[in-house]
Amino acid sequence: MYWTYLRRELAGRKKQTIIVAAGLSIAIALVIIVNSLAAGVRDAQATALESVYGVGTDLTVTGAQSEPGSGEGGQQFDFGSDGGSTDDDGTTTLNQSTLTTEMGRSTLDASTVDTVLATDGVSEATGALSLTNSTFSGELPQAPSDSDSGSTDSSSGGMPSGGGDSGSFGGGSFGIDSFTVLGIETDTTVGPMSSVTLSDGRLLDADDEGQYVAVLDSTYATSSDLAVGDTINVGGTDFEIVGIVASSSSSADTAANVYIPLDVAQDLSGLGDVVSTIYVQASSSGDISTVQSALEAALPDTTVSSEADLASTVSGSLSSASSLITNLGTWLSIIVLVVAVALAVLFTISGVSRRTREFGTLKAIGWSNGRVVGQVAGESVVQGLIGGVLGLVIGLAGVIAINIIQPTISSTSSTSADGQGAAGGMPGGGADFASAASQTASDITLSAPLSISIILAAIALAVAGGLVAGAFGGWRAARLSPAEALRSVA
């Protein structure tokens, strides 16, 4: 009886049912699309940070920014008497590699890792030393004599004054090749190595401590035509390549071009027992903020960053998309949903007012207030469910369209401070070269993943909208009296 009456009432009021369902369907579809896009942007942001953060790492501890003007200011190449070889024609061939740390940021004593491990809430921590290997190679012609040049300025046969990657000077030529090197502890999986997959060979292990072995990023290995079993020169020393790795995400880069044992990196760089970054894993995700505060208090001269902090360094259209969805998209969804529910309430109350004689007569033949309210609420909930199904179809169509189009957004993750340096000098002296900021720029394909939770939330919103409309309409119907209905009939 209840369902038969419900079906007949909905069929007799098709216009009201269509309008209420259409309003709710638009709101539900917008909620689905906005939430799916928000999830896609979060995934894209995680991808952009993967190369600088590492899977399984909750916090990073780095040295504080150095004061402007402090430090040595960049790579230095000192060519002494054994810095090159001279041919019979007087041409000097120079070749030298140096390992330098990130400019503008201080290193940390390796004992800082123990301090971090002793902090409550920290389950694991590991140190790494980030370096840049720069190789200068070139040929310098024999310096002209005073009689040839008519000048006593000996600097005319010196090093080029530019700081570029390659160039020529006085009939000679030179070039500078550089790649990033990361010294890592070989007995842990926390940090950068947890965000890579093995493509060939093996990873570094505990037996590699003190050994001249290296693992290469697959992209760098391909561009340099290197493979497992080959050697690579790092800091003037040949390393055997034992493995090739790639980022766990196809859209992200690894943290460095070359990975070597930490103790070897410290020795070759001449920096001693230091690290540049400490990767920290908290005991639980709920402890991250507490651990961050504790580390900041215990290590005031360091910079402690969480993934949320690093997310603020992501710029480009990825940042714009995140801001747009977070602000405009969310508020637009809320406004449309409120308007749709308000529309459903108004139509339901209006329908109850037009059905005064009907509800009064039903009460006169014995219907209770609860039964009348249940009838109105049931009609509204069914209208909400119809709107929810339509909204789900529209929302799914929108999500599928986004995933087919696959819009591309750009992101730039800043991972280090800017540095400045000068270039110049003579062989046998010093040559400083600029060290630019380390940034990871990439184009990321935006998707709109759809989860069961989003679908369930959409259905729940549709039912809630129907219940709200039914509650107001039922309240209005319950106030009607049989006597009022009979008077309206007369």
**Tokens coding 158:** 């010196």
pLDDT tens sequence across 410-421: 555 544 433 333
Which phi and psi (to 5°) does residue 67 adopt? -65, 140
* 3-class DSSP assignment, residue 236: coil
Beta bridge mates, 275: 108
The mean pLDDT of the chain is 74
Please tell me the distance from the alpha carbon of residue 476 to that of residue 347, in angstroms, as a whole number. 12
Q: Select the more confidently predicted residue: 209 or 424.
A: 209
pLDDT in tens, 343-387: 778 877 777 777 777 777 777 777 777 787 788 888 888 888 888
CB 24 within 8 A of CB 465: yes
Measure the CA–CA gap between 106 and 104, rounded to whole angstroms: 7
Mean pLDDT is highest, among 109-118, 127-136, 381-390, 459-468, for 109-118
The Cα–Cα gap between 476 and 356 comes to 10
Q: Which of 151-165, 249-263, 276-290 has the highest mean pLDDT?
A: 276-290
User: Which residue's entry shows tokens 């093995």?
Assistant: 198
3-state secondary structure 73-119: CCEECCCCCCCEEECCCCCEEEEEEEEEECCCECCEECCHHHHHHCC
- Evaluate if residue 397 carries a pLDDT over 80: yes
Tell me: the pLDDT tens digits for 39-86? 777 676 666 555 444 445 678 898 876 554 444 444 455 555 455 555
State which amino acid sits at residue 260. I
Nearest partner of 42 among 343, 435, 314, judged by Cα: 314
Cβ proximity of 130 and 274 under 8 Å: no
Distance CA 302, CA 290 (A): 16
Rounded Cα gap, residues 243 and 213, in angstroms: 9
What does the block give as tokens for 114?
Answer: 């123990």
